[in-house]
């Protein structure tokens, strides 16, 4: 199948590579020309502009956009005058589902089809395949099915679910038509909200393991000396209960085998801890690209409680220092009502 791909960043280029390996004909465009060069050897054709890309495609054309959500509207404004009725635009980025509804209506007025495809797989998707959550009209989805089949992991990558009828639907292949316009990105939004919660749970658990030796070392998770006993800080009760020396890399490796908390995220955590047991290369500022916020907002709209997802999102805000003023105000209130002074961790002078 022929496809025009716009956006060759962390995922777009690998997706094109997987499609080319699967025998598809790809014309590619990126604002960074050097991103196109590695794909030439695999048979891709490069385009110098959106107009050039469209001209190289045969009608009816299919274009896949892998660009940031904030860039989609401007790109569509460029593409709509160049496209014709019967062409299809696939938005594979992390757009908001309410924007899909608006864009689908805009494109429908010109006879252009729209599909929203939530795409999960990250930088490992080239070899592992991409989990694809698709929204749009059924006939248009079916027309693009050869692309989804090539990009998806395939039915052999996970054992069948016990009790599920065999050979039923496309979910077993790793892609699914989730519903009408916006449904694909809605499912991806919830997927990413869950991802936030899972990541936070692993991080908090390993942080507790990291602190399990404070009764022996007196060191906090930051490697600083815990404050000496004072009126402002609750003392550690029974320090002898927290005198362990936990090897986090070994524990992660252990949990990967037979544990109910095993997952790909745990696999990645284990790799990170092997490469850098103290994670010194990271400052701990955790970004959020929008889907977690939208998931929490959607939950508020429909009245569904999501305390774990909300807490995980707030933790990301706090990681970037957004709780600084609130914490200073708490400290100020303690000082005002009780004359409580702030205490700083003692310096570790053991080295």
Which residue numbers are catalytic?
188, 195
Q: Angle at Cα 182 formed by Cα 176 and Cα 185, nearest 5°?
A: 65
What does the alpha-carbon distance between residue 23 and residue 127 come to, in Å, rounded to a whole number?
16
Task: Specify the length of the chain in residues.
Answer: 351
Count CB atoms within 10 A of the CB of residue 299.
17
Render 150-197 in DSSP notation, one character per residue.
HHS--GGGSPPPTTSPTT-SSGGGTEEEEESTTHHHHHHHHHHHHHHH
CB-based contacts of 285, cutoff 8 Å, min separation 6: 319, 320, 321
Distances (CA, A) of 281 to 123, 191, 206, 210: 20, 28, 17, 17
Residue 15 CB coordination number (10 Å): 25
Tell me if residue 62 falls in helix, strand or coil. strand
The token duo for 218 is 């007196």
Residue 323 is encoded by which pair of tokens? Answer: 């709780």
Sheet strand arrangement including 131-135: 45-46, 25-29, 2-6, 62-65, 88-91, 113-120, 131-135, 175-179
CB 129, CB 147: distance < 8 Å: no
């Amino acid at each position: 199948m022929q496809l025009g791909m716009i956006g060759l960043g962390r995922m777009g280029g690998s997706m094109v590579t997987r499609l080319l390996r699967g025998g598809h004909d790809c014309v590619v465009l990126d604002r960074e020309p050097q991103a196109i060069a590695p794909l030439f050897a695999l048979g891709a054709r490069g385009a110098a502009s959106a107009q050039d890309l469209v001209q190289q495609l045969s009608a009816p054309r299919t274009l896949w956009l892998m660009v940031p959500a904030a860039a989609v509207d401007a790109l569509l404004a460029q593409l709509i005058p160049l496209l014709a009725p019967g062409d299809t635009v696939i938005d594979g980025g992390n757009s908001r589902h309410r924007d899909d509804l608006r864009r689908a209506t805009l494109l429908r007025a010109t006879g252009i089809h729209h599909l929203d495809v939530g795409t999960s797989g990250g930088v490992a998707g080239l070899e592992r395949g991409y989990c694809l959550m698709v929204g749009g009209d059924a006939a248009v989805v079916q027309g693009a099915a050869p692309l989804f089949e090539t990009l998806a992991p395939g039915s052999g990558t996970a054992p069948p679910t016990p009790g599920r009828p065999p050979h039923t639907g496309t979910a077993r292949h790793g892609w699914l038509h989730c519903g009408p316009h916006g449904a694909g990105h809605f499912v991806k939004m919830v997927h990413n909200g869950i991802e936030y919660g899972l990541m936070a749970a692993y991080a908090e658990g390993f942080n507790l393991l990291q602190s399990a030796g404070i009764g022996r070392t007196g060191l906090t998770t930051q490697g600083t000396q815990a404050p000496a006993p004072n009126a402002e800080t609750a003392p550690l009760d029974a320090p002898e209960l927290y005198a362990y020396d936990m090897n986090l890399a070994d524990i992660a490796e252990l949990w990967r085998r037979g544990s109910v908390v095993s997952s790909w995220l745990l696999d990645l955590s284990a790799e990170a801890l092997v490469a850098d047991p103290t994670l010194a290369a990271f400052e701990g500022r955790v970004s959020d690209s929008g889907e977690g916020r939208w998931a929490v907002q959607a939950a508020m709209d429909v009245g569904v409680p999501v305390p774990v997802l909300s807490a995980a999102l707030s933790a990301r805000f706090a990681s970037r220092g957004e709780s600084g003023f609130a914490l200073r105000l708490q400290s100020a209130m303690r000082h005002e009502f009780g004359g409580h002074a702030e205490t700083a961790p003692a310096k570790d002078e053991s080295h």
